[in-house]
């Protein structure tokens, strides 16, 4: 039998590695900017064309590379960051794996111009699909100029499944925000298709937050500064009243590196537990400084997942620091006793005389025949006296009719009707009640044929069992079909706002909004832009009882998660997002008529069981499954 195992060529191995390291244009931006920072760059310029499909260019003023280093930098596992395995536990740089440049040049056409400070000429190297095409000396300024052209040109499947330009650009902007936040001491510039999107000057972290997200966010921050033997935590947390339902600004850094850490996120959220609503999230920008030997960054090729050696101890320090900051700046509400309707209690004066004198007849009996309340001095003109005057001695009238048989209420009548429908008569009920003893807490009122469970589900009998309907999804499906039918004939109805709603957006959200503003008008949103700021002047009629800003931000978020779709598919996606924010929420109590209306509208449809996104709307609990509960 011949040998079947072969060593893969470097070009193939690099393409495989690129599948993990280079997922989209934003991944290229991340790797190139981190290399620029590691090279000591104090000014980094990022130039993007066509959301990174055509060009991603990063220019820095760092140390640059010699001709030999420039050629070697594109080989797999070549790096200047580490030399032995022990160096992994003393990292002070962003990169160390030596895979990024090899992965990038495997799926793109790369051109690098670089020059170190102590040399008169630089070098220019061109690589396409891991193949070096040329290398020659050239004039250049100190630093590196890396150009990545035609990303995924040789992997058509990957290029085809890139999302539309607005979504990819939004991801690049998100990555730019993370990189610029973790490096506030570096000047950054972001240019897309010739338009300057960001131009940031070096400064403090708070200044950088204001440059990226606006002065309003900057004013809503509370500083936090904790210094212990294990960890130093510095940065800012947001005031509870400024927590957001969507688009919360949440950033964690460790030793100048971005990280995702659900455990520490949960620690921060626990400090806000009783200060904010369950459906909102606070802003936070926190940097952890620890001994590099106590963390492991070599978990995933993206290097965003970090393992801490002293995780539990840091959790406690983080919780204590956040709570102290919230308390120090009066973010925790103090006890405020409600004095409304409370009586005024004057200060005690031992020399004062009583304004009123009351005499009590201890032998008085209001029910005695000879003591009808016609003028007892102790209760003269009192409410008790007037009441007793009306009743007199005939106090037995208070109990008149008490033992009279009560007439059945509408609920009892409806319950009896349902009992007769399922074969239970009054005699069977009385027999069952005589045999079973219930505690008072276990007693339940008779349920109607259609009722609401936990203000979330509509429950009704069905021929094959019990039908359960998700009220939010059912209403969403009804609205979606209504919107689609209306859009086929024109645009959705819009309602003008008396006062325009200012719309504060991040740069990534603005990118999405610019690309779909005309489509938003078709579903009923009216928007205007003044001095670079967006205002909502009209909303879809279905959003009358919703927050227009939060609703629009949710729609932008859902569009950013979608792929590159046609105009028709985009309108369907917008209609689905609008139906989602307009539909009745979970927790809303419905009347019987409202539940019946939803059921009637739902079952007029040809496909009432699933939403357009595939979520279940209607489910049946079969009779045989119910029977198994009693086996």
CATH number for the domain harbouring residue 581: 3.30.1370.100
Give the pLDDT confidence score for residue 78 in this predicted structure.
60
451 domain-assigned: no
Kindly state whether residues 51 and 36 are assigned to the same domain: yes
Task: Look at 49-63, 80-94, 508-522 and tell me which has the smallest mean pLDDT.
Answer: 80-94
pLDDT at 447: 47
Q: Is residue 307 part of a domain?
A: yes
Picking from 194, 196, 225, 223, the residue whose alpha carbon sits closest to that of residue 209 is: 223
Q: Where in 355-504 does DSSP place strands (E)?
A: 451-453, 457-462, 465-470, 494-503
3-state secondary structure of 12: helix
Task: State the average pLDDT over residues 85-109.
Answer: 67
**Contact criterion met (CB below 8 Å) for 282 and 248:** yes
Tell me the three-class secondary structure of 264-304, residue by residue.
Answer: HHHHHHHHCCCCCCCCCECCEEEEEECCHHHEECCCCCCCC
> Does some domain include residue 341?
no
Cα–Cα distances in angstroms (integers) from residue 352 to residues 42, 134, 345, 348, 357, in the given order: 81, 107, 15, 9, 14
The verdict on 377 and 496 lying in the same domain is no
Same domain? For 61 and 85 the reply is yes
pLDDT per residue as tens digits for the range 459-468 = 998 888 899 9
- Rounded CA-CA distance 258/109 in Å is 28
Of 141, 176, 200, the last residue of a domain is 200
Q: Rg of the Cα trace of the chain?
A: 36
How many angstroms separate the CA atoms of 263 and 280, rounded? 18
| 538 falls within a domain | yes
167 and 310 inside one domain: no
CATH number at residue 292: 3.30.230.10
SS3 content of the chain, % helix, strand, coil (to 5): 40, 20, 40
Boundary of a domain, candidates 291, 312, 328: 328
Whether the predicted pLDDT of 124 surpasses 70: yes
Q: Are 252 and 259 in contact (CB under 8 A)?
A: yes
232 bridge partner residues? 227, 289
Q: Does 457 map to a domain?
A: no
Per mean pLDDT, which of 335-349, 559-573, 613-627 is the most reliable?
A: 613-627
* HSE, side-chain direction, 13 A CA sphere, residue 109: 9
Residue tagged 């109590």 (tokens): 589
- Return mean pLDDT, the chain: 79
Query: Residue 134, CB half-sphere, CA atoms under 13 Å: how many?
Result: 6
Query: How far apart (Å, rounded) are the C-alpha atoms in residues 53 and 168?
Result: 9
Structure confidence at residue 400 (pLDDT): 57
The verdict on residue 71 lying in a domain is yes
What tokens appear for 578 in the block?
């609008």
Contact 489, 522 (CB under 8 A): no
Q: Are residues 565 and 487 in the same domain?
A: yes
Q: Are residues 123 and 261 in the same domain?
A: no
- Residue 549 in tokens: 């800003």
Residues 192 and 222 in one domain: no
- Between 312-326, 402-416, 579-593, the lowest mean confidence (pLDDT) is in 402-416
Residue 261, CB half-sphere, CA atoms under 13 Å: how many?
27
**Contact 197/188 with Cβ under 8 angstroms?**
no
Instruction: Return the beta strands (E) in 283-385 as ranges.
Output: 284-289, 295-296, 307-308
CB 284 within 8 A of CB 235: yes
- Structure tokens of 338? 């409600």
- How many structural domains does the chain have? 5
Question: Do 42 and 105 fall within a single domain?
Answer: yes
Are 113 and 186 in a shared domain? yes
pLDDT at residue 591 above 80? yes
According to the model, what pLDDT value does residue 446 have? 42
Domain boundary among 200, 229, 252: 200
Does 497 map to a domain?
yes
The DSSP line for 158-220 is HHHTSPPHHHHHHHHHHHHHHHHHH-TTSEEEEEETTEEEEEE----HHHHHHHHH-HHHHHT
Instruction: Provide the residue range defining the domain that includes 187.
Output: 10-200
pLDDT (mean) for 562-569: 68
pLDDT 10s digits, 268-319: 999 998 888 888 899 999 999 998 888 876 555 555 678 888 889 999 999 9
Q: For 355-410, what is each residue's pLDDT tens digit?
A: 555 566 666 666 665 555 444 444 444 444 554 455 444 555 555 555 554 455 44
Residues 97 and 191 in one domain: yes
Q: Is residue 419 part of a domain?
A: yes
Do residue 413 and residue 307 come from a single domain? no
Which range has highest mean pLDDT (139-148, 252-261, 393-402)? 139-148
Contact 140, 114 (CB under 8 A): yes
Residue 191 or residue 1, greater confidence: 191
Tell me the CA distances in angstroms from 469 to 449, 482, 497, 599, one per residue in order: 14, 19, 34, 9
Measured CA to CA, the distance from residue 318 to residue 141 in angstroms comes to 45
Percent of the chain with pLDDT over 70: 72
Of 451, 467, 483, 489, the C-alpha closest to 573 is: 483
Q: Are residues 228 and 281 in the same domain?
A: yes
């Amino acid at each position: 039998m011949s040998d079947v195992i072969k060593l893969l060529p470097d070009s193939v191995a690099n393409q495989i590695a690129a599948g993990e390291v280079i997922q989209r244009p934003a991944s290229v931006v991340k790797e190139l900017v981190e290399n620029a920072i590691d090279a000591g760059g104090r000014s980094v310029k990022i130039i993007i064309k066509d959301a990174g499909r055509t060009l991603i260019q990063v220019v820095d003023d760092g140390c640059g590379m010699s001709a030999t280093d420039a050629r070697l930098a594109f080989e797999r596992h070549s790096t200047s960051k580490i030399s032995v395995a022990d160096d992994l536990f003393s990292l002070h740089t962003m990169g160390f794996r030596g895979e990024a440049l090899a992965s990038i040049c495997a799926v793109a056409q790369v051109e690098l111009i670089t020059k170190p400070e102590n040399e008169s000429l630089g070098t220019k190297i061109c690589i396409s699909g891991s193949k070096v095409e040329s290398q020659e000396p050239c004039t250049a300024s100190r630093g590196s100029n890396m150009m990545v052209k035609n990303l995924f040109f040789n992997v058509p499947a990957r290029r085809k499944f890139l999302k539309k330009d607005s979504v990819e650009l939004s991801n690049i902007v998100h990555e730019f925000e993370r990189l610029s936040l973790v490096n506030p001491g570096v000047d950054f510039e972001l240019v897309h298709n010739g338009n300057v999107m960001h131009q940031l000057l070096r400064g403090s972290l708070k200044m950088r937050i204001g440059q990226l997200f606006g002065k309003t966010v900057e004013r809503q921050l509370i500083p936090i500064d904790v210094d212990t033997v294990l960890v130093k935590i510095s940065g800012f947390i947001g005031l509870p009243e400024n927590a957001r339902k969507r688009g919360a600004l949440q950033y964690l850094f460790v030793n100048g590196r971005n990280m995702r850490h659900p455990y520490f996120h949960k620690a921060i959220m626990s400090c806000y537990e009783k200060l904010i609503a369950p459906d909102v999230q606070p802003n936070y920008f926190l940097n952890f400084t620890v001994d590099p030997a106590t963390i492991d960054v070599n978990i995933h090729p993206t290097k965003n997942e970090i393992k801490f050696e002293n995780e539990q101890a840091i959790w406690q320090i983080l919780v204590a620091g956040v709570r102290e900051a919230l308390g120090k700046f009066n973010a925790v509400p103090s006890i405020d006793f409600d004095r409304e309707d409370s009586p005024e209690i004057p200060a005690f004066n031992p020399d004062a005389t009583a304004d009123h004198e009351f005499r009590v007849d201890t032998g008085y009996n209001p029910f005695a025949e000879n003591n009808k309340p016609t003028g007892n001095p102790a209760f003269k003109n009192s409410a008790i006296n007037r009441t007793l005057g009306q009743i007199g001695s005939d106090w037995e009238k208070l109990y008149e009719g008490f033992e009279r048989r009560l007439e059945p209420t509408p609920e009892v009548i409806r319950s009896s009707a349902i009992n007769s429908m399922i074969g239970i008569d009054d005699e069977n009920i009385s027999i069952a009640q005589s045999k079973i003893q219930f505690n008072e807490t276990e007693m339940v009122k008779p349920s109607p044929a259609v009722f609401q469970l936990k203000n979330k589900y509509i429950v009704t009998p069905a021929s094959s069992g019990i039908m359960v309907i998700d009220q939010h999804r059912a209403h969403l499906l009804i609205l979606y079909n209504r919107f689609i039918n209306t859009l086929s004939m024109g645009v959705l109805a819009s309602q003008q706002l008396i006062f325009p709603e200012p719309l504060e957006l991040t740069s990534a959200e603005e990118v999405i909004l610019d690309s779909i503003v005309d489509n938003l008008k078709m579903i009923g949103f009216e928007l205007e832009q003044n001095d670079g700021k967006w205002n909502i002047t009209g909303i879809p009629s279905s959003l009358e009882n919703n927050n227009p800003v939060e609703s629009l931000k949710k729609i932008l978020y859902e569009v950013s998660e979608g792929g590159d779709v046609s105009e028709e598919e985009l309108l369907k996606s917008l209609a689905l997002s609008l139906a989602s924010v307009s539909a009745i929420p979970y927790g809303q109590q419905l009347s019987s008529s409202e539940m019946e209306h939803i059921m009637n509208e739902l079952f007029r449809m040809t496909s009432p069981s699933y939403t357009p996104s595939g979520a279940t709307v209607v489910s049946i609990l079969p009779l045989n499954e119910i029977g198994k509960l009693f086996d």
